[in-house]
């Protein structure tokens, strides 16, 4: 009997198989069984113990020999019929009653508990890995924004405590959040995914190409391409230096690739752009902007470039370096940094005779 072919589905996999629960990863039992991972959840979930048992498919009450007992039950029924010992029956009745009255409460508690464990699980190593597989398979869908060209998204919460917001989708290409397209996800609590997961995911998998394949200019994009060109021509720094490999901890090509020149909608009427000064003119372009040269976002350096005076407080070179550059030796880096600074000076028009500490500090000639 125990070797019957129909293996009953675990609570976890049946929960994840429900309609609208497509975003959930299956939390491993090892993770749930480790009490450390459940710290503090007891106070958040009513009927915590029962809910936990339900998630782990542990039969309520103490019996390890549950299955044997049930087999006996059946046999008893057949053989003894009504003449079963009354005490025995009462115990099972009691259990049935309890289950009937509390089942729905326990079920909802179990869902809440599972969600909260899930929030923690997907920030753990195996959990985030599991979500990465789901991400690759596009289980979470794509960004609805046209200029994000179907970039893959992640489920996130806007709050870590349940009962506030439903699950949202975070697009790494435009760094914005969207409502899932299907209404069946509007019953899923955002807290079950949490606020941390979305960002942690892309910090963990830095090698992912978040923007996906951006199409090369097709006929429809011709106008956009021209816009992009003119926008770039206008800007001071034409583009990010090719040797920058990291800005503020992110690879430049992964820093909001769906934003910036060419990815901003330009309203037009009969081909003519609508002026910013028009009442109905564009006001939200900033939301989709991105500097053509991402080193502009290196705030630490910008700050110190503007505050040349306070030399005493100035952090040393390594602490200031929020831009990673590809190069063989330190000398190359320093050289490049010098150039960046020099260019800034010129751009800012605050040239102070080249007497900057930057120029004399640690100048190692190239090579």
Partner 1 sequence: MDDFNSETDSDYTSYWRDWFISSRGNEYFCEIDEEYLTDRFNLTGLNTEVQYYQYALDLVTDVFDFDCDDDMREQIEKSARHLYGLVHARYIVTTRGLLKMLEKFKKSDFGKCPRVMCDSQPLLPMGQSDIANTSPVKLYCARCEDLYNPKSSRHAVIDGAYFGTSFHNILFQVYPAMLPPKSQRRYEPRVFGFKMHAAAALARWQGEQREGMKERLRKVGIETGFENEDEEVESEEEDDDMEIGDGFEQGQPGAAVAIHDR
Binding site for partner 1 (CB under 8 A): 31, 34, 36-37, 120, 123-128, 144-147, 158, 168, 170, 175-179, 181, 195-196, 198-200, 203-204, 219-220, 246-250, 255-256, 259, 265, 267-271, 274, 276-280, 282-291, 296-297, 299, 322, 324
Query: 106 or 240, CB closer to partner 1?
Result: 240
Give me the DSSP letters along 166-228. Answer: B-EEEETTTTEEE--SSGGGGGSBGGGTTTHHHHHHHHH-TTS-TT--PPP--GGGHHHHHHH
Q: Which of 264, 302, 269 is nearest to 284 (CA)?
A: 264
Query: 47 or 121, CB closer to partner 1?
Result: 121
At its nearest, how many Å lie between partner 1 and the CB of residue 62? 27
Q: Which of 14, 9, 10 is nearest to 29 (CA)?
A: 10
Any idea what DSSP says for residue 214? P
Query: 87 or 215, CB closer to partner 1?
Result: 215
Contacts 24+ apart (CB under 8 A), 90-99: 95/60, 95/61, 98/60, 99/60
At its nearest, how many Å lie between partner 1 and the CB of residue 317? 14
At its nearest, how many Å lie between partner 1 and the CB of residue 284? 4
Query: 281 or 364, CB closer to partner 1?
Result: 281
Contact (Cβ atoms closer than 8 angstroms) between residue 366 and residue 331: yes
- Taking the C-alpha atoms of residue 317 and residue 222, their distance in angstroms, rounded to an integer, is 44
At its nearest, how many Å lie between partner 1 and the CB of residue 77? 46
Q: What angle do CA 99, 103, 105 make, to 5 degrees?
A: 135
Contact (Cβ atoms closer than 8 angstroms) between residue 2 and residue 67: yes
Query: 107 or 317, CB closer to partner 1?
Result: 317
Which residue is associated with the tokens 């009513």? 46
Contact (Cβ atoms closer than 8 angstroms) between residue 195 and residue 229: no
Residue 88 Cα distances to 91, 93, 98, angstroms: 5, 9, 16
Number of neighbouring beta carbons within 10 Å of residue 19: 9
Q: Whats the size of the chain, residue-wise? A: 367
Distance of alpha carbon 248 from the chain centroid: 18
Query: 58 or 175, CB closer to partner 1?
Result: 175
At its nearest, how many Å lie between partner 1 and the CB of residue 344? 15
Contact (Cβ atoms closer than 8 angstroms) between residue 244 and residue 325: yes
At its nearest, how many Å lie between partner 1 and the CB of residue 334? 18
At 171 the three-state DSSP class reads: strand
Tokens (6 digits) for 110: 């179990």
Query: 10 or 196, CB closer to partner 1?
Result: 196
At its nearest, how many Å lie between partner 1 and the CB of residue 345? 19
At its nearest, how many Å lie between partner 1 and the CB of residue 233? 18
Query: 47 or 295, CB closer to partner 1?
Result: 295
Query: 41 or 274, CB closer to partner 1?
Result: 274
Q: Which of 214, 209, 131, 118 is nearest to 172 (CA)?
A: 209
Contact (Cβ atoms closer than 8 angstroms) between residue 258 and residue 147: yes
At its nearest, how many Å lie between partner 1 and the CB of residue 216? 16
């Amino acid at each position: 009997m125990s070797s019957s072919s129909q293996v009953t589905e675990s609570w976890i996999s049946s929960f994840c198989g429900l309609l609208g629960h497509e975003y959930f990863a299956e939390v491993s039992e090892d993770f749930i069984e480790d009490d450390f991972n459940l710290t503090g959840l007891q106070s958040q979930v009513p009927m915590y113990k029962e809910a936990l048992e339900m998630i782990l498919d542990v039969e309520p009450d103490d019996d390890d020999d549950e299955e044997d007992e049930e087999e006996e039950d059946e046999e008893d029924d057949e053989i003894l019929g009504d003449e079963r010992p009354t005490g025995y029956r009462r115990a099972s009745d009691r259990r049935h009653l309890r289950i009937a009255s509390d089942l729905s409460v326990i079920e909802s508690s179990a869902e809440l508990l599972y969600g909260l464990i899930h929030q923690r699980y997907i920030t753990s190593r195996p959990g985030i890995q599991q979500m990465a597989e789901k991400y690759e398979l596009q289980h979470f869908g794509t960004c609805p924004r046209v200029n994000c060209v179907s970039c893959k998204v992640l489920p996130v919460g806007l709050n870590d405590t349940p009962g506030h917001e439903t699950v949202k989708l975070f697009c790494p290409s435009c760094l914005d959040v969207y409502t899932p397209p299907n209404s069946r996800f509007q019953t899923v609590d955002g807290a079950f995914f949490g606020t941390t997961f979305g960002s942690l995911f892309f910090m963990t998998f830095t090698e992912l190409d978040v923007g996906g394949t951006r199409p090369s200019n097709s006929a429809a994009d011709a106008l956009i391409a021209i816009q992009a060109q003119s926008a770039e021509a206008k800007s001071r720094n034409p583009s990010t230096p090719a040797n920058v490999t990291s800005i503020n901890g992110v690879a430049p090509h992964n820093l909001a690739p769906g934003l910036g020149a060419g990815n901003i909608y330009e309203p037009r009427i009969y081909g003519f752009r609508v002026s910013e000064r028009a009442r109905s003119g564009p006001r939200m372009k900033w939301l989709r902007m991105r500097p053509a040269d991402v080193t502009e976002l290196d705030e630490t350096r910008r700050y110190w470039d503007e505050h040349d005076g306070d030399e005493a407080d100035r952090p040393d070179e390594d602490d200031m370096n929020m831009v990673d550059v590809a190069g063989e030796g330190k000398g190359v880096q320093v050289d490049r940094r010098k150039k960046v600074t020099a260019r800034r000076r010129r751009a800012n028009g605050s040239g102070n005779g080249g007497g900057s500490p930057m120029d004399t500090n640690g100048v190692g000639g190239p090579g």
